[in-house]
Structure 1
């Protein structure tokens, strides 16, 4: 029995491996709330300066998330002082209010496409910052604290040659 469980564990680990994964990291949100002034920051140093990559924002939310969409401001600081900033909107729920993420429990994981076909041409450290930019209708200052967000992450995958 012990050998079977060990074999099962190793099989699952091998199946779940992604050879194209360049970077994958999450940051937890204190008290499952994302304050409007809180920048979630990631730092990585790619080794490959030739390959094309897809960049995803990973977000985990629970049923306390009260919106059908999500607005983010995402910045990438390159090692050569070049900077890119994007304002993005993602759908988080369908028309019936059902969350779109994957997961069998109240916790849903969303893999949100940020950039595709990206080359990181300069060696050194890249910094990615993510800030929630949600607003209620008629408000200028935005939502102070976005409830129901448990984790925010960045995932970078090397593209296959046939993509």
Structure 2
């Protein structure tokens, strides 16, 4: 019971630090097996298109993850479903030479926050969807526990 209370407290503490976040969401990867067909989708509202936003990947993996990197393809769509962009990104989860994990870890679980887009200006206010697909070509990709995004107002203090 004490452990659960500690986890809830830590989650609230971390969530309270994102005061400039307008959206933050994770999708858990069932059994840590990320199938290529599994493309988590995140839908969020942009109320003010006159200001820039930073968009981040959020990723949680175990130390048993078999690679130092992770390739992801992202798709950004507007409320009509029109694709505004798609792009392949490489996230570096561990030092390629030493194997030392990047990110913040507790035990063998590590959390990462990678900048996806800096100072992005959405075309207009409205609803947008970001879809993420693993592109490692291992199916399923093992030991990825959750993936998500954060959308923050750029230039706001953390």
Is it true that 1:46 corresponds to 2:46 in the alignment?
yes
Is it true that 1:160 corresponds to 2:146 in the alignment?
no
* Partners of 1:79 and 1:122 within 8 A in 2: no
Larger Rg: 1
1:128 counterpart (127, 130, 133): 130
- TM-score w.r.t. structure 2 length? 0.84
Structure 2: which 5+ residue stretches go unaligned?
1-8
Deviations 1:91-126 (A, max 9, x none): 111121121111232110010110001112322210
Shift of 1:19: 2.5
- TM-score w.r.t. structure 1 length? 0.81
2:138 counterpart (114, 131, 143): 143
Question: Residues 56-95 of structure 1 correspond to what in structure 2 (within 5 A)?
Answer: 56-79=56-79, 81-94=82-95, 95=97
Give the secondary structure class of the aligned counterpart of 1:93. coil
Give the secondary structure class of the aligned counterpart of 1:43. strand
1:37 maps to 37
Give the secondary structure class of the aligned counterpart of 2:63. coil
1:102 counterpart (101, 104, 109): 104
Q: Aligned residue pairs: how many?
A: 145
Q: Distance in 1 between matches of 2:72 and 2:85?
A: 14
Q: CA RMSD in A?
A: 2.1
Q: Distance in 1 between matches of 2:135 and 2:156?
A: 35
More strand by share: 2
Q: Which runs of 4+ in 1 moved over 4 A?
A: 12-15
Shift of 1:82: 4.3
Structure 1: which 5+ residue stretches go unaligned?
1-8, 135-141
